[in-house]
Amino acid sequence: MKNKYIYSIICFLFIGNLLAQQTPAPIQTKGYTIEGATAHLGNGKIIEDCLIMFKNGKLTFVGNAMTKIAREGTIIYAKGKHVYPGFIAANTSLGLVEIDAVRATNDEDEVGSMLPHIRSLIAYNAESKVIESMRPNGVFMAQITPRGGVISGTSSVMQFDAWNWEDAVINIDDAIHMNWPKSITSGRWWLGEDPGLKQDPKYIENINKITNYFSDAKRYLINEQVIENIPFAATKRLFNGSQKIFIHVNGEKEITDAINKMKTVGINNIVLVHAQGAENVSDLLIKNNIPVIIDRSHRIPSGEDDDYDLSYRNAKILIDKGITVGLGMEGDMERMNTRNLPFYAGTYAAFGIDKEEALKMITSNNAKILGIDSFVGTIEEGKDATLFISEGDALEMKGNILTAGFIQGRKISLETHQTKLWKRYSNKYQNKNN
């Protein structure tokens, strides 16, 4: 009986080990040199036949391979290949949900509607199998964002090779996220109501609830109440400008109202998410230095009168207006689809914007919007050595084949449970054919 018990424990541990994520890479202790590749720096610039060196997690040299300088550490000859900064996804709930149908694994939405104090940080699962599957496509960082309610909570920015959330975080509590109400509603056809679109009679009331909430929070912070109000206290950095508010909003009227109302209550550090119709109020965005996180390109237009290809041209329209544009995720299958981030950027490039401009949407632009551009987002001396080598164009599915990836100088594993299964069954049928 005792032996049977021990055998059961060994089997359990063995299976658990098979299901676990790979052990994170150790801190970089030896230098690396990448030579001969085409480097896409993430700021719109390209270096053909590049020379990139890094040690102790930091980039020490970025230039041309013809430069006469001593090479450091392990030399990776990458002629014909391409080097990119690690891609950054904005507005995703990665690591907050493992299995949608299992409530115990879902931490993206808490009970309540006004939740600025709810932090995605401590719910983040660094060992999620979904997280692991991002790395082979070059997605190495993301803003982990809660969902639901009016004020959903606070996001943080994570890197994707870590033991736990403490190791993963690279920008703590970067923003508070709010879902702005819609001014248009439709009848509930299933109850016999007219299904046509109409003005929502509660729109003004819903806006007033938001502005009153922030006004009350501001008074609480000014008066330093003896009785602590944790949700109100969590808004402090919004009012002093050290934290951003990400407003999830669509429609010209809604965007205009959201910006004006937030400025009225004293919140000025604003980012718009989704922002369909933002091109029609671009002057307001530019005047207030407000960037936009747009949705993935592979979606249908939201309006009946929209052009059939509007979803693909959205980035070009906003960039041409002079707006800073980043790329984020939300909607159906958003966590799994985040691995397709570079291909969404590539689709925007196919519909009018320069390929390097599209790259900026998931590198330097997202880094700037998320407040991490001082150390990631571009391949520049002094920044973190978070980058990868690809066989070809990383914004295209055929070219996005990673041969090496580094996060903070650490050479990371590009294996996942998916690549293991692919190799397993590829070998099965290759053996059959032989």
The DSSP 8-state label assigned to residue 181 in this structure reads P
pLDDT at 132 > cutoff 70: yes
Helix 252-265 × helix 203-223 angle, to 10°: 20
> In the structure encoding, which two tokens stand for residue 48, read together?
């053909």
Break the chain into its structural domains and give their ranges: 21-86+385-434, 97-376
Mean pLDDT of 375-392: 98
Cα 96 to Cα 402: distance, rounded to the nearest angstrom: 26
Q: Which of 127, 212, 117, 102 is nearest to 155 (CA)?
A: 117
Helix (H, G, I), strand (E, B) or coil at 45: coil
CATH number assigned to the domain covering 97-376:
3.20.20.140
Mean pLDDT of 172-195: 90
Q: Which of 15-19, 254-258, 313-317 has the lowest average pLDDT?
A: 15-19
pLDDT at 7 > cutoff 80: no
pLDDT, one tens digit per residue, over 207-233 is 999 999 999 999 999 987 678 899 999
Cα 272 to Cα 245: distance, rounded to the nearest angstrom: 8
The domain made up of 21-86+385-434 has a fold known as Urease, subunit C; domain 1 (2.30.40)
Mean pLDDT of 34-61: 98
Mean pLDDT of 271-285: 96
Q: Is the CB of residue 273 less than 8 Å from the CB of residue 328?
A: yes
Q: Which of 295, 12, 235, 8 is nearest to 114 (CA)?
A: 235
* pTM (2 d.p.): 0.92
pLDDT at 334: 82
Largest Cα–Cα distance in the chain? Answer: 79
Mean pLDDT of 327-339: 85
Which positions ≥6 away from 24 have C-beta within 8 Å? 161, 162, 163, 167, 410, 412
Mean pLDDT of 381-398: 98
Task: Label residue 378 by pLDDT band (50, 70, 90).
Answer: very high
Task: Label residue 3 by pLDDT band (50, 70, 90).
Answer: low
What sign has the CA pseudo-torsion 423, 424, 430, 434?
positive
